[in-house]
Amino acid sequence: MRARFAALALAAATLPGLAAAQAQPQPAPNQVPPQTAARPANANLRAIPAGPGRAVAELQGLDKITARTQRFYAPVGETTRFGTLAITVADCLVNVPEAPPEAVAYLTIVDNKPGQAAEKLFAGWMFASTPVLSALDHGVYDVRVLACRMAQGSSPPSSR
């Protein structure tokens, strides 16, 4: 337990500005946060370089009931479904080429179970390199960020 806590503390210390980013007021579901106020204070992070296609976050979802994982693209500014979850990507950032690879996405995740009111499960920054630092806590689903990129077409990667 101590080793796990120490690892989390070390990861938090290596990501400057995380506490400030998490302390920002969270937007309502399906609303994009103010881009300048909510971004992590890391000088190496920048928007996805422009190119053909549209900006997407590559996510991986795990259904704990069936033990199936699925990789899928979630376009920035749109809502994507995974099971009963509605995942909205408000922003997706990557490190500059000189820095170690990193992808960071601002996600809002809402659970829309049939016959129940929608429940907001998560709103904040998820880091691809340290998923345990800021993770979705749900009994059925896990969601993590894999990458931020420009994607062409609409076919997501296949499930595994």
Q: What is the C-alpha to C-alpha distance for residues 22 and 25, in angstroms, rounded to an integer?
A: 8
What's the sign of the alpha-carbon dihedral 32, 36, 42, 48? Answer: positive
As given in the structure block, the two tokens for residue 147 are 């990458």
Beta bridge partners of 150: 55
What is the predicted pLDDT for the residue at 132? 82
β pairing state of 85-95 and 79-82: antiparallel
Q: Are 105 and 123 in contact (CB under 8 A)?
A: no
What's the sign of the alpha-carbon dihedral 8, 122, 65, 154? Answer: negative
What is the predicted pLDDT for the residue at 29? 44
What is the predicted pLDDT for the residue at 102? 86
pLDDT digits (tens, 9 = 90+) for 50-102: 777 889 999 999 999 999 999 999 999 999 999 999 999 999 998 887 777 88
3-state secondary structure of 45: strand
Q: What are phi and psi of 126, to 5 degrees?
A: -115, 135
Mean pLDDT of the chain: 75
